[in-house]
Structure 1
Amino acid sequence: MTVETAAAPAPWTPPPVPVPAAYRDPDYALLPDGRRAERLADMLRARAAATPDVDAVLEVGRTTSWAELDRTANRVAQALARDGVRAGDRVAYVGANAPSFLAVLFGAAKLGAVPAPLNALLAVPELSVVLADARPAVLVVGAGSGPAAAAATGSTRMVAVDDGVAGAVPWDTWLAGADDTDPGVVVDPQDTAVLFFSSGTTGRPKGIELTGANLGQALAASYYLLDLDVRSVAMAPIPFFHVAGIGLALAAVLGGSALLLEAPTDLAGVAELWQRRAVTHAVAVPTVLQMLLQLPAVRQADWSTLQYVIYGASPIPVPVLTDAAEVFGCRFLQSYGLTESTGGITMLMPEDHRPDPADPVAVARLRSVGRPMPGVPVRVVDPVTLEDLPPGQRGEVLIGGGHVMKGYWERPEDTAASLLPGGWLRTGDGGSFDDGGYLFLHDRLKDMIITGGENVFPAEVESVLTGHPGVVEVAVVGVPSGRWGESPHAVVVPRDPASFDPDELLTWARERLAHYKCPVGVTVVGTLPRNASGKLLKRQLRADLAS
């Protein structure tokens, strides 16, 4: 007698996202001359050849063309070679976004060295740890970052864009005598092209090695969706030491768009800058958008030049999004990704931001991070068994494909723990798909609260609480409970502390959440603790509440 065994169900994968007509290559972004963008240095070389006199960088009182940026990068490469820097050596830069930052990024790449953008917000002891790990042959200290020089080791050659930094060679002196001939070094696309460092929210920062192939494939998944070209003016408020900041800069290089480095000093200055500079691609967090909409001048302005608002960090509340779409009349984009995935791997598209109010599923998807970009495999799996989960079930988000990092710098054990067979990256993020392939995030797995045997994802609770009109920001963490093991607790930044009522917020939550998900208490604070990269420090909140 033969017994037939039912075949195991095939793993669920999200439906494919329609490929835009402008998405010309499924694997790599293309250079202006049609070649694959698989080498960092080639991106600037090709752009400078295509549009040498077009504006590349806009600052207060100064404009840099693509040809000028390319020549300065060549001089940086020659100065590095003169200092004995060779292929594979690290060249670090610490400082605010500036043309010198880009010149070092591309100059090091033209020599086959590895640029290492460092967090300019780190304290000297923190920066000392990162420098000891990276061991750069040369450290360039950007304008206004003089204190960072104190973290440099005596064996590291320092160059300072500002004058008067102790122990550093002035930038102009360093470049003097270095000609602007491109050294023409050609590197393997699988070699490390840039070395980022994690923000260290859970411990010592880790170096993250991204290859030229990583960059080219990641740009292919985002560049063509942004409609960047030589007429575009893209804000660059995200620091270049973030992969999102570098990603926007490289997308501008491919499109020949101007990068706007001018920074406003206040909220009214943001709107004025967008207007005066005819910004086409603005970057803003949801809270800034919400505050901008409260300014009469914003509602009266002509926003016909603005084409895209790119946001992240958190969803935009539906009423705010509806209002912003009406006022600005532009397209909105949101993305999700990690440094280890070379930036964004999902996209909530412009059409997703204009749902039919009568369609509750479409409205609910505004709380998602969108669908995986073309060519980017994404899975949600059981974090223990690593088996794929169907839509609606929460698990760990895995990312595959050519976006996944080469590995952690000199940390083989950490690399092995994060990269699974087949090249899948464990993100540590909790998430779930819906039936349409939209990814919803449910917080870091380590931040999940287990109360009375039930799993509570803080992001879900925070999403409800931020809908309260009196709340500006909120973080939900677990606190010890003698009865339930732990319980949710909300730490809130109120809009008006004098009139804010914590009990009223708890009532709001109970009307919208299952009882076990509702906070058992509310703590009011002026600001939420964040690290130098701006990431929320929930471990500090838990420690503060425990004490």
Structure 2
Amino acid sequence: MTRAAQAAGTWMTPTPAEYRDPHYALHPDGTRVERLEDITRLRAAATPDLPAVITADARTTFAELDRDASRVAQALLRDGVTAGDRVCYIGENASSFLAVLFGGSKMGAIPTALNVRLSVPEMEFILGDSEPSVVVLGLGQERLVEAAAAVPSVKRVVTLSPEEGGRHTAGATVTGWDAWFDGVCDEDPGHRRSPDDTALMFYTSGTTGRPKGIELTGANIGQAIAAMHYLLELDTDCVALAPVPFFHVSGFGLALVSVVNGAALLLLNPSGPADLIRILQEYAVTHAVAVPTVIQFLLGQPEVRTADWSALRYMVYGSSPIPEPVLRDATAVFGCKFLQSYGLTESTGGVTMLSPEDHRPTRETAHRLRSAGRPMANVPVRVVDPVTLEDLPPNERGEVLIGGGHVMRRYWRNPAATSAAITPDGWLRTGDGGSMDVDGYLFLHDRLKDMIVSGGENVFPAEIESILTGHPEVAHAAVIGIPSARWGESPFAVVVRTPGSGLDEDALIAWAREQMAHYKCPVGVAFVDALPLNASGKLLKTRLREAYANPR
């Protein structure tokens, strides 16, 4: 990288020499991963008898997964689904999800994954917006049969409920999973779309308005999983667990890279932290993905500190900053390689990486644990003035922009939102505040809209939250700005205490004033049993602002 590029604030990690093709993940035959429909085809040809999916009561080989995908493709064709039609899956992680994902792709449809935690009205909006031809409902989603069948575009609703037979409602046919395949063959229809065509859709969580469909191409996906493909050391002896749902791009990414590399994908949904610990141990999981809140919950379980973690090779985390004290504790307890990835669904997942080496810092590099790592190979990342979009020098805070082949194609049928999110020259505006240090490490400083301006000083809640969670009696903390007659805004903390804690407001504020500049310290603290989260597990600061805008 030239000094001029470094000074301008644009970073792109040089290509590691050992990467065979750093732009793309590669299939077993050496060809590029740039079509979803090819993933099971080529993996099944390479290792047909190895386990692809492990559930509580079954093992599915790669040959069987590929056959199931072909059956889904043939069932969709029989139902009149054509290339470009949407096929929605609503359900927890399951082998049926993968069959619909790869099967829909095999005949040219666009698989669309919906968040199972959404309310029925939210589901109705997304189904109406995406206009699917077929909706597949996983186990436990029977409540949505009528809502899905009522969507005018829907021809068939398929439910995994074993009690469901064939019937008609609201103009759609409702069928059980096994019955859906009656009379269809398992021949691969052989469809192959352009890598630049839309291959998959996710929907935004809708925290700032109506959910938007995010169109990702095959080329997006092939490039996005490339870094994980080469750096996670996945092979045919590995067992990967993604308790993160597949309707989140992080869980989806691990599922894809596991299939590409021939690892077994463990599809179990833990009932809680203790159950997750049991699963990781019982199945000798080698690779796991978790959001920071899950890692923090795990560390709160006494048994996690006495368990044998020798099988665990990698723990991948992301989706939000993780407090430094928690991160240090986690690396000590699990003893495996940790890898952090920052990204958005609009960037097809991770674009920066805090490497395992970065998680073993020296005194001089310990500050990097607070970062989101450096840009992945061939992913340009910039920090710019959010008004002028001019590049900022190192260590100056602005808006994070992402470029290159990871950037989504567009928002589904929403050109106005697409234009607002993607600049004319192809840079994705993340809306995240950040800064880049002289070594190219990205430091996140909250969503721009969450920044607090107190007495003319910019105060970033994530920094305060990281410090507050360093208190031994603080389990979780969220910081918002509240009106101040003197300062304009002041920080206010909403805190979840550790079990049995008697920590009070005055004691925590006094402690905080010893840890940080006084203008950053909370002027008040509210203690709650739990922080409000949306259906995607993201913190709803809008709820906190509504509740505590005038706490005094």
TM-score norm. by structure 1 comes to: 0.94
Q: How many residues align?
A: 537
> In structure 2, what is the equivalent of residue 476 of structure 1?
479
Verify: 1:531 aligned to 2:534, yes or no: yes
- Between 1:268-277 and 1:198-207, the stretch displaced more is 268-277
Deviates more, 1:318-327 or 1:90-99: 318-327
Would you say 1:158 and 2:163 are equivalent positions? no
What's 1:4 paired with?
none
Match for residue 454 of structure 2 among 448, 451, 457 = 451
* CA offsets 1:212-261 (integer angstroms, 9 cap, x no match): 01001111132211111111100021111111121111101111111111
1:428 is matched with which residue: 431, 435, 446?
Answer: 431
Once residues 384 and 352 of structure 2 are traced to their aligned partners in structure 1, the CA distance between those partners, rounded to angstroms, is 17
Letter paired with 1:16 = T
Question: Root-mean-square deviation (CA), in Å?
Answer: 1.9
2:125 pairs with 129, 133, 140, which one? 129
Q: Which residue of structure 2 lines up, in the alignment, with residue 350 of structure 1?
A: 356
Task: Indicate if the aligned counterparts of 1:432 and 1:440 stay in contact, CA closer than 8 A.
Answer: yes
1:351 is paired with a residue whose SS is coil
For the pair 1:329 / 2:329, whether they are aligned, the reply is no
1:440 to 2:443 alignment: yes
Say yes or no: does 1:540 pair with 2:539: no
Decide whether the 8 Å contact of 2:353 with 2:376 is kept in 1: yes
Contact 1:420 1:426 in 2 (8 A): yes
Contact 1:20-1:225 at 8 Å conserved across structures:
no
Q: Confirm or deny: 8 A CA contact 2:12 2:381 kept in the other structure.
A: no
2:181 is aligned with 1:184: no
**What is the CA distance between 1:465 and its match in structure 2?**
1.0
Assess, with a 3 A threshold, how the Cα gap between structure 1 residues 318 and 543 changes in structure 2: closer, same or farther: closer
Give the Cα separation in 2 of the matches to 1:293 and 1:529. 21
**CA–CA separation in structure 1 for the residues paired with 2:17 and 2:271:** 37
Q: Which moved more, 1:272-281 or 1:299-308?
A: 299-308
Q: Does residue 1:11 correspond to 2:8, yes or no?
A: yes
Change in 2 beyond 3 A, CA 1:132/1:294 = closer
Q: Which runs of 5+ in 1 are unaligned?
A: 1-6
C-alpha distance in structure 2 between counterparts of 1:340 and 1:72, whole Å: 29
The equivalent position to 2:92 in structure 1, one of 81, 93, 96, is: 96
| The 10-residue stretch of structure 1 (264-273 or 9-18) with the greater mean CA deviation from structure 2 | 9-18
Residue 268 of structure 1 pairs with residue 274 of structure 2: yes
**Structure 1 residues 495, 532: CA separation in 2 closer, same or farther (over 3 Å shift)?**
same
Q: Is the 8 A contact 2:322 2:466 kept in 1?
A: no
The C-alpha deviation readout for 1:435-479, integer Å capped at 9, x for no partner, is: 111000000001111122221111111111111111111111111
Q: Which runs of 5+ in 2 are unaligned?
A: none
Aligned partner of residue 350 in structure 1, secondary structure: coil
Q: In the superposition, relative to structure 1, how do residues 237 and 546 fare at CA in structure 2: closer, same or farther (>3 Å)?
A: same
Query: Is 1:174 equivalent to 2:180 in the alignment?
Result: yes
- Quote the Cα distance in structure 2 between the aligned partners of 1:308 and 1:20: 22
Q: 1:405 to 1:293 in 2, by over 3 A?
A: closer
Note the C-alpha offset of 1:323.
4.2
Structure 1 residue aligned with 2:142: 146
Distance 1:319 1:465, change over 3 A: closer
- Measured in 2, the distance between the counterparts of 1:489 and 1:17 equals 41
SS in structure 2 of the partner of residue 185 of structure 1: coil
1:461 to 2:464 alignment: yes
Letter paired with 2:63: A
Q: Look up the match of 1:40.
A: 36
C-alpha distance in 2, partners of 1:117/1:235? Answer: 19
By how many angstroms is 1:96 displaced?
A: 0.5
Match of 2:108 among 107, 112, 115: 112
SS at match of 2:396: coil
Partner amino acid for 1:452?
G
Alignment of 1:256-335 (within 5 A): 256-293=262-299, 295=301, 297-335=303-341
Partner SS state of residue 358, structure 2: helix
Contact 1:194 1:211 in 2 (8 A): yes
- What is the identity, as a one-letter code, of the residue corresponding to 2:351? I
C-alpha distance in 1 between matches for 2:432 and 2:462? 11
Identity fraction in percent: 62
1:28 equivalent among 24, 39, 47 = 24
Amino acid corresponding to residue 205 of structure 1 in structure 2:
P
Q: Does structure 2 retain, via aligned residues, the 8 Å contact 1:110–1:183?
A: yes
| 1:319/1:385 CA distance change after superposition, 3 Å | closer
Within 2, Cα distance between the matches of 1:9 and 1:490?
A: 36
Deviation at 1:513, TM superposition (A): 1.9
Partner AA of 2:286 in structure 1: T
Give the deviation of 1:287 after TM superposition: 4.6
Residues 530, 537 of structure 1: 8 Å contact kept: yes
Residues 9, 531 of structure 1: alpha-carbon distance in 2 compared, 3 angstrom cutoff: closer
Q: Distance in 1 between matches of 2:26 and 2:5?
A: 41
Is 1:58 aligned with 2:54?
yes
Cα deviations across residues 317-367 of structure 1 (Å, max 9, x unaligned)? Answer: 4454444434432101111000000000001000000112x32xx111101
Structure 1 window deviating more from structure 2 (369-378 vs 462-471): it is 462-471
SS at match of 2:10: coil
Contact residue 138 and residue 159 of structure 1 kept, 8 A = yes
